[in-house]
Structure 1
Amino acid sequence: MTLINPSDSLERQNEKLLKIVDALMSRVEYGTAQSNAAYAQFERAALLEKRVRERTLELESTLELLHDSNSELAKAHAETEAARRNLADAIEAVSEGFALFDPEDVLVMCNSRFCRDFKDLSPLLSPGLPFSDYVRHIGKSAYLALPEDETPASWAARRIRRHMDRHVMFNVELSGDRWLQVSEHRTSNGGTVVLQTDVTDIMRIERQERARLKDKQTRVIRATLDHLNQGVCVFDENAQLVGWNHKISQLLSVPVRRLVIGASFGGLLDRLGDDVQFSRGIDLEGFRNWALVKGARAPISFEVRRGGMTLQIFGRGMPDQGFVISCTDVTAEREAAQKLYELNEILEQRVMERTLELEDALSAAERANASKSRFVAAASHDLLQPLSAAKLFISSLSDKATDPDDMAVLSKAETALTGAEQIIDALLDISKLESDGLRFDVRRFSLREILAPLRDEMTIHAVRKGLELTVVDSNLVVESDPAYMRRIVRNLISNAIRYTATGRVLVGVRRNGGSARIEVWDTGPGIAEENQNTIFEEFKRLDTKASANEGLGLGLAIVERACARLGHPLGLWSEVDQGSCFMVNVPVASEADPARPKSARMTLPIGLEQSGLIVLLVENDPQLRRAISILVESWGVNVIEAEDAASALDLLTDLQIRPDALLLDYQLGPGMSGIELYSAVQDSLGPIPCAIISADRSTDLRQTCKSMGLELLLKPLDRHKLGHMLHTAAQAITL
C-alpha cells in the first residue's frame, strides 16, 4: 500500500506528502492524553519525517531529470516540426504534384499540386487515404478523359495492375485537352512516391509538330504521286479513298470529281466502264472481294484491257489494314512482247531446222565413229586370231627346239609378234577411251603398288639401252583406276626410255596441295615448244627414223585420253637438248582400300600327260584351232576339235563322252556364241570347267564370264594362263 498515487505528477505527489507531514505533526503535538505513547508517536513521526525528506529529495532529483528530459523532448519535437515544415515547404516548392504512400499503400503526405486538376478529389486527399481508394476516385473523376471503349472500373483495374510494376510511367488525358504524365518510384522501405507532371504544352507542341510533319509528308507524297508515270490510289482500312494522283483518272477514265477523300472503293469500282476487261485469272467481283476483305491481304497482280490499252494493276495491303493500288500502262511492252514472241517463233523454227540438220550431222558422225570403233575392234579381232595362232605355234616349237640358232630365231619371231600385239593393244585402248561406255575401277591405292612392279619391268629395257632408271618409292595413297594409272606411267617411262639416247630416266612423286604429282624426267633431246601439242596426237612421232617396231606414236595419245577421262591434269615441261618432264596430278586419299587378293602366279603345267585330261576345243579359225591343239597336246592332253557350236554338240552326241574341260571361242559365227554353247553343254552334261577365248576386252563380257564362273582368256593366248586353267581342271578330276 502506498500513500500517494504513482500516476500523479511529481508536483501533486509532493503536495500530498507535505499535507501528510502536517497532519502527522499536528497529531503528535495535539494528541489526546490517554495515548500514553506520545513519545513513541513522536519518534515514529520523526522517523517518518526523515523518510519523507529522503523521498522528497529523490522526487526532487527525479523532477530535475524529468525536467531535463522534457526539455530535450521539446527540443527534439521542435526540430522534428521544423524538419516537417522544411519537408512540406520543399515538397510544396516542387513544380510537379507529389504524394508519398507508405509500404502499406496508405497516403502519408502530398503537396497542393497533387491531383490539382481533379477538383472533385481534393477534399478526399488527406493522410491515411488508401492507394486503391485514390485510384478509384481518380477513375470516377469528371475531369478524367476516358477512351470510348473503357469504363472507370476497367481503368482503375488497369491502373492497379500497373502499380504492381517497380517503375511506372504513363500519360493521362484530362478534360479540356490537358495531359498529365504520371510516374511511380519505390522507396527503400517499400513505399511509393507518385509524381504528376503537366505535359499539356509538350503534347500540344508535339501534336502541332506531328500535324506539320504530316501535312508536309502529305504534300511530298502528293507531289511524288503526281510525278509518277503510274496511276496510284490509296485506301484506308474502311476501303475509303485517302490519296491518289491524276494519272489514275486518265488511265481508268474515272472523272476527277469522283476522286475525293472518303470515296468508297466499291463506288469507284462501279464507275469503271463496260469496256474494261479483266484478264489473267481475276474478274470484277474477285477484285472487289480482295479489297473489302478484313485483315491482311496477299499482294495481287492482274491486267485489264480498256480500248486499245493494256493496263497492269497491282495491289498490296498496308500495315494499318488499308491498301494501295497502282495502275501501269504496259501497252507498248505487251506489243513488243507479242512481236518478240512472233520473232522467237520464227527463230525457234529456224533453230529447230538447224538443230535437225546438226542432229543429222551428229548422227552421221556418231555412226562414223561407231563404225570406226567397230572396225578397229573387228580388225583387232581378225588380227589377233592369226597372231595368237602364230604365238602358239612358236611356243610349241620353243618347247621342242634345242639348237641355239633355232631358239634365237624363234625368240626374234616372238619379239616381233609381241610388238605387233602391243600395237593392236594400243589401237584397242584408243578405241576404248573414245567410247562412251568405258567404266573405270576407281579406288584408293598406294602408289607403291604400281611403281615397284614398273621399276622391275622397265629396268631391263633401260639397261639394254645403257640408261640408268631410278624410280623413287612413294607410300602416298591416291584415288584412281590402278590399272589405267599403271598403263599411263608405263607409257611415260617407255616413251622416256625410247627417246633418250644417253643419261638417265628419273621417276618420282611430289605433293602438290591435295594431289600427288607423278613426274617422269629424262635427259633426252627435249621437245620444241611448237611440237609440244603435236606429240599427243595419234600416229605422230617426232623421230621420223624410228621403226614400226618402236610403236606407231599411240603411247602419249593413250596417256592424254586416259588422263582426260579420269580427270587427272597432265603437264609437260621440256627444253631442247635439256630433257623433258611429263607430270600427272592424282588426288591424294587418306588411306588405301583393302588389298585385293592377287591371282596365283601362272606356271607351265607339269605332269598333265599323266592326267588323261580330255579337252573339247571349239574354234572357228582353223589356224588358231590347230595351234592350240598342237600346244595342248604337247602337254599330254587329249584334244577334241570342233569348228562351230553345232559340230561340237553333234560330236559329243556321237562320241558319248563327257570332256574334262572346255575351250570355247566366244565368236563362233552364225548360231550360238561360246557362252551359249557352254550353257547347252551344261544342261546336258552338268558343270564342266570352261574357258572362253576372245579378243573382246569389253567390261560386259568380263562381267558375264565372272557371273557364270567362267575363265576369260584374251587373244593372243597366254600359254601360262592356258596351262594354269588346264592344270586346275586336272586337279579337279583327281579330287
Structure 2
Amino acid sequence: MSERISDCLIDPADGAERNVEKLLTIAESLMRHAEQSSGERGAAFEQFRRAAALEDRVRQRTRDLEVTLKLLNEANSAAERARRDLSQAIEAIEEGFALFDAAEVLVLSNSRFCRDLVDALPFIRPGISFSDYVDLVSRSSALALPGGVTPKSWATERIRHHRQRQVFNVGLVGDRWLQVSEQRTADGGTVILQTDVTDIIRLEREERGKLLDDQARIIRATLDHINQGVGIFDADRRLVGWNRRLAQLLDMPVTLLRMGTHFDVLAARMTRQAGFGEGFTADALWAWARKAAPRGPLSFELRHGSGMVLDVFAQEMPGRGFVMSFTDVTRERLAIHAMLRANASLEARVAARTEDLEAALAEAERANAARARFVAAASHDLLQPLSAAKLFMAAARDDAEAPRLRATLEKAHNALVSVEGILGALLDISRLEARGAAVEIAPVPLSVLLSQLTDEFAPMAAAKGLRLDILPSALTVSSDPTYLRRILQNLISNAIRYTAKGRVLVGPRRAGRFVRIEVHDTGPGIAPEEREAIFREFHRIQGSASASEGMGLGLAIVERACALLDHRLSLRSVPGTGTCFSVELALSADAPVHRDAPPDIPEEPGDSSDRIVLLVENDADLRRAIALLLERRGVGVLEAASGEEALDLLEEIGIVPDVYLVDQQLGDGLTGVETVAMLHARHGERPTRIITANRTAETRDAARAAGLEILYKPIDPEALAAFVLQGG
C-alpha cells in the first residue's frame, strides 16, 4: 500500500526539485498531525518517518551510481580515444611496425609491416605467433634468398637474429632491401621495425662504384709514375694491369703487353732474354705461379745480357691473383761489387796490418814479460843482500855502545828500509802491469785484517804524534787478501805521512751488498788540479811537509790493484781540511772459519836461552846475518844451506829444534815447503816460517796448501825476533 501511495505522490516526470517539495509538504503535514494525535497514530507516524529516511538513502545511492556510470563511460571513451590515437600514431610511422607480447604473439601492427610480402601479408594478423610469422616470410615469393640458402635455413638464421636482437638487412626481389631492427619492451615483448633502405644501398653502391673508378684512375696514374715495372695477373694468371715502366724494363712488345696475355707467355720471353740469379730457376717461377695452395711472397733477380739487373718481387692478392714488381738495381749491384772488391782489398791490408800489430804486440808482451821477470829476479837478487845488510846493521846497532855510532847505524838501517820499500813498490808495480796478473778472490774477514793494520801502523802514527783510529768490523768481503792488505797499507801510510797533526781515521761503511772502507786524514788536502796526477808513478804533492818522504809509488799501486780487483776507488778532498780515500768491495756470501792467530809479539817474552832454531838458507851472507841477530838475542842456531843438509844434520846430532826457518828457493834440491814437510814427518811439527822474496801466487799456494805462513824478505829484524822468541 505504502509503495502505491509513493508512486502516486512522486512523479519522475516532475523532476527532483518538485518531488522534494511534495515530500517536504507531506512531511510537515504529518508532523502537525502527529503532534495532535497519540497512541496508534503516533506509531504510524514513526513508521512513516522511517520509510521516508530509507527512501532518502536509496535516492542517494542512485545518484552515486549514476555518477559512477558517468565516470566509467568517460573512461571508456578516453581509452577508446587513446587506442585510436595509438593506432593512428603507429600508422603514421614510415617504417613497418609490429608488437609481439611476452608470449611471442602479435598484438598489433601497421599497414607498412610486411607490405612488400604480398602473398604472406593476408595471414599476418594479431594473434599469430612469431614462429609462424617467420615461417610465412621464409616461404614468401617476394623474399630474395641468397644462393644456396633454403627457406628452412633462412628461417633458422632469422630466429637466431631474433634471439640476439640484431639489426640486419633482408633482400627482396627487384633489388629491394629492408632493414630489420628488434627491441625488447619492459614487459618482455618485442617491437619490430622494418625500414626500406633500398635507396640508401643503391646510393652506396653507386658511390662505391665511383670510388673504385677513381681509385682505378689513381692507381693507374701511380703505376705510370713510379720507377718500378708492375704487372697484375688475375686468378687465371692472365694480365689485367701493367704500367709503361714494365715494357721498358722487360723490353716487351706492345702485342704481348695487352689485356688477357697469359703469364706463361710473358715468363717464357723473360727467361729467353735474361738469366736468373743464384739459387733460382725458371721452373721455380712457374711452379710458384701454378701453385694451387696459397702462395707465399717470392723474390729473385733477373740479369739481362746488357748487364742490367732487375730485382723481382711477387705476391699473391685476394682472389688468387698476384702482382709482380720489377726494380732496376743495376747501380746498387755495381756499387756493392765495387764495395766488395774494396772490402776485400781493405781486409787484405787490415789482415797484413793485424799480423804486423800482433807480431809487435807479441814482441811487446815478450819484452814486458822479460822486464817483469827481470824486475822480479833483480828484486829477488837485491832483496837477498839487502836483507842480510839489514840484519847485520841491526846486530851492529844492538852492539854499539857509543851514542853517535848507534845513531849512525840507526840512520843506515833506515836508509836500508827505504831501499827495501822502493824495491817492494817496484816489484808490486811490475806484477800489476804484467798481463794476466794472478789474483785469488776469497772471503777476507775485516776483523783480522784491520787488527793487523792497527798493530802495524800504531807505532808510526804515535811517533808523529797523530791519533790513529782503525774501527773494528765483523764483516767479510770478497777480495784478494794480499792485494787488499797492500792497498790499505799504502792508503794508511800515505795518510800518516802527509798529516802533520790531528788524526787518521780508518773505518768500513756498509752500503747494501757492498762495503766501503774509508781512510780519512786531517792533512793539507789535495788541490783539484793534482787529483789525477797523484796516481802517476813517482809523483809527490809539492809544497807538502812530507813531499820529500816516500817514492810516490803508493797511490799508483793502489789504483792498479783496485782496477785489477774491480774495486771502486774514490777520492774526496778539501784543501786545508783533509782527504778521504775509499775502496768499495762486495760483501762475501761465505765467511770462512778462521783460527785465532797468535800475536806477532808476545806480551811476556819467555826465557830464550835454551831456544834452538833450525835455519835453512842457501845464501851464506843472509844465513850468517840471521844467525848473528838471533844469537845476540840468546837463541841457538843450527845452520844448513839446503834441505838435504838440514835433514842430515838433525839425523847426525840427534837434536830436534824448537823453531824452523826455511828458505823456499834452496837451489836444485828440495824446496822449502818440501823440506818442512819432511822435517815435520820425521821430527814432529814445530812452529815454522817459510822465508822468501818471491811474492808469486805459486809460492803462496804452496805455503797455504802446507798450512805454512810466509816471512817475506827483506826480513824485519823485530818481526823475526818476535816470532822466534815467542816460540811460534
TM-score range, shorter chain: 0.7 to 0.9
Which residue in 2 is equivalent to 1:48? Answer: none
Q: Note closer, same or farther for the CA distance 1:281–1:454 as it changes in structure 2 (3 Å cut).
A: farther
SS of residue matched to 1:168: coil
Could you say which residue in structure 1 is the equivalent of 2:42?
A: none
> Which residue pairs with 1:126 in the alignment?
125
Q: Is the 8 A contact 1:619 1:665 kept in 2?
A: yes
Residue pairs, 1:68-107, within 5 angstroms: 76-107=75-106
Equivalences for 1:99-118 in 2 at 5 Å?
Answer: 99-118=98-117
**Equivalents in 1 of 2:450, 2:544: separation in Å?**
36
Contact 2:234–2:322 (Cα < 8 Å) also in 1: yes
1:82 & 1:296 partners in 2: Cα distance?
68
Whether the 8 Å CA contact 1:504–1:523 is kept in 2: the answer is no
**Alpha-carbon deviations, 1:187-224, whole Å to 9, x = none?**
11111011010111111111122222222222222222
Report if the CA contact (8 A) 1:492-1:582 is conserved. no
Alpha carbons 2:239, 2:262 under 8 Å: kept: yes
Alignment deviations for residues 108-141 of structure 1 (CA, whole Å, 9 cap, x no partner): 1211111112222112211122111222222222
Hey, what's the Cα distance between the residues in 2 that align with 1:639 and 1:473? 40
Query: Which residue of the partner structure matches residue 460 of structure 1?
Result: 462
Separation in 1 of the partners of 2:487 and 2:153? 88
Cα offset, 1:659, TM superposition: 6.4
Residue 437 (structure 1) aligns with: 437
- Aligned to 2:270, the other structure's residue is in SS state coil
Q: 1:272 aligns with which of 239, 257, 270?
A: 270
- SS of 1:99's equivalent in the other structure is strand
Aligned to 1:251: 249
* Greater mean alpha carbon deviation, residues 188-197 or residues 375-384: 375-384
Number of matched pairs: 658
**Shift, 1:439, TM fit:** 2.7
- Cα 1:434–1:261 change in 2 (3 A) is same
**Does structure 2 retain, via aligned residues, the 8 Å contact 1:300–1:315?**
yes
Matching residue of 1:50? none
- Counterpart in 2 of 1:10? none
SS at match of 1:357: helix
- Distance in 2 (alpha carbons) for counterparts of 1:243 and 1:686: 104
Q: Map 1:243-392; keep pairs closer than 5 Å.
A: 243-259=241-257, 265=263, 268-291=266-289, 293=291, 298-307=296-305, 308-316=307-315, 323-392=322-391
In the superposition, relative to structure 1, how do residues 118 and 461 fare at CA in structure 2: closer, same or farther (>3 Å)?
A: farther
The SS at the match of 2:537 is: coil
Task: State yes or no: 1:601 paired with 2:599.
Answer: yes
Checking the alignment, whether the CA contact within 8 Å between 2:613 and 2:635 is kept in structure 1 is: yes
Q: For residues 124 and 521 of structure 1, what CA distance do their matches in structure 2 show?
A: 112
| Distance of aligned partners of 1:643 and 1:459 in 2 relative to their CA distance in 1, 3 Å threshold | closer
Q: Deviations over 1:130-160 (max 9, x none)?
A: 1112222222222222222432222211111
Q: How much does 1:287 deviate? A: 3.8
Cross-structure match for 2:488:
486
CA distance in 1, matches of 2:587, 2:334: 62
Residue of structure 1 in register with 2:169 after alignment: 171
Amino acid paired to 2:217: R
**What's the CA shift string for 1:622-661, capped at 9, x where partnerless?**
1112223334455666544332345456656766877665
Change (3 A) 1:258 1:90: farther
2 CA distance for matches of 1:469 and 1:389?
A: 34
The answer for the alignment partner of 2:663 in structure 1 is 665
Larger deviation: 380-389 or 438-447? 438-447
Contact 2:386–2:416 (8 Å) recurs in 1: yes
Distance in 2, matches of 1:286 and 1:431, equals 68
2:198 maps to a residue whose letter is T
CA apart distance, 1:594: 6.0
Alignment of 1:177-188 (within 5 A): 177-188=175-186
Is contact 1:387–1:716 with CA below 8 Å preserved after alignment?
yes
What is the CA–CA distance in structure 1 between the aligned matches of 2:588 and 2:703, rounded to whole Å? 31
Residue identity in the other structure for 1:431: S
CA contact (8 A) 2:250 2:270 kept: yes
606 and 320 in structure 1: CA distance in 2 versus 1, 3 angstrom threshold: farther
Gaps of 5+ in 1: 1-57
Aligned residues of 1:108 and 1:128 also touching (Cα < 8 A): yes
Deviation per residue, 1:477-526 (Å, 9 max, x gap): 997865244134225324524xx6xx7677799999998876655348x8
TM-score (norm 2): 0.76
Asked whether the equivalents of residues 538 and 551 of structure 2 are also in contact (C-alpha less than 8 Å), the reply is yes
Paired residue secondary structure (1:154): helix
Could you tell me which residue of structure 2 aligns to residue 161 of structure 1? 160
The residue type paired with residue 439 of structure 1 is V
The 8 Å contact of residues 600 and 723 in structure 2, kept in 1 or not, is answered as no
Q: What is the alpha-carbon distance in structure 1 between the residues aligned to residue 654 and residue 456 of structure 2?
A: 50
Matching of residues 17-36 of structure 1 within 5 Å: none
The farther-off stretch of 506-515 and 705-714 is 506-515
What is the distance in 2 between the residues matched to 1:721 and 1:298?
85
Quote how far apart the aligned CAs of 1:183 are.
Answer: 0.3
| 8 Å CA contact 1:517, 1:584 repeated in 2 | yes
Partner of 1:700: 698
The alpha-carbon deviation at position 374 of structure 1 amounts to 1.4
CA distance in 2, matches of 1:92, 1:184: 18
- CA–CA distance in structure 1, aligned partners of residues 577 and 351 of structure 2: 50
Q: What is the aligned partner in structure 2 of residue 539 from structure 1?
A: 538
> 1:107, 1:128 within 8 Å by CA — same for their partners in 2?
yes
Rounded Cα–Cα distance in structure 2 between residues aligned with 1:686 and 1:600: 20
Question: Per the alignment, in what secondary structure is the counterpart of residue 332 of structure 1?
Answer: helix
Alignment-derived partner of residue 35 in structure 1:
none
Tell whether the 8 Å contact from 1:253 to 1:272 is kept in structure 2 after alignment.
Answer: no
Q: Does the 8 Å CA contact 1:469/1:506 hold for their aligned counterparts? A: yes
Query: 1:79: Cα distance to partner?
Result: 4.0
The 3 A distance-change label for structure 1 pair 640 and 516 is closer
Equivalent of residue 618 in structure 1, options 616, 619, 626: 616
1:221 matched to which residue of 2? 219
What does residue 197 of structure 1 align with?
A: 195
Task: Give the C-alpha shift of residue 177 in structure 1.
Answer: 1.6
**Could you tell me which residue of structure 2 aligns to residue 12 of structure 1?**
none
Q: Quick check: 1:458–1:493 contact (8 Å CA) kept in 2?
A: no
SS at the partner of 2:113? coil
- Pairing 1:636-651 to 2, within 5 Å after superposition: 639-648=637-646
Deviation at 1:621, TM superposition (A): 0.8
SS, match of residue 272 in structure 2: coil
Once the two structures are TM-superposed, the CA of residue 90 in structure 1 deviates from its matched residue by 1.4
Q: 1:588 to 1:629 in 2, by over 3 A?
A: closer
Which shifted more, 95-104 or 556-565? 556-565
**Partner AA of 1:492 in structure 2:** N
- SS at the partner of 2:464? helix
Alpha-carbon distance between aligned partners in 1 of 2:308 and 2:68, rounded to the nearest angstrom: 106
Separation in 1, partners of 2:543, 2:402: 37
Distance 1:484 1:632, change over 3 A: closer
Instruction: Give the structure-1-normalised TM-score.
Output: 0.75
Query: Aligned equivalents of 2:642 and 2:288: distance in 1?
Result: 84
* Alpha-carbon distance change, 249 to 153 in structure 1, aligned in 2, over 3 angstroms: farther
- Give the Cα separation in 1 of the matches to 2:342 and 2:648: 72
Structure 1 residues 93 and 83: CA distance shift in structure 2, 3 A:
same
Alignment partner, residue 47 of structure 1: none
Q: Which amino acid aligns with 1:227?
A: H
Distance change (3 Å), C-alpha of 1:268 and 1:593:
same
Partner in structure 2 of residue 211 of structure 1:
209
Alignment-derived partner of residue 51 in structure 1: none
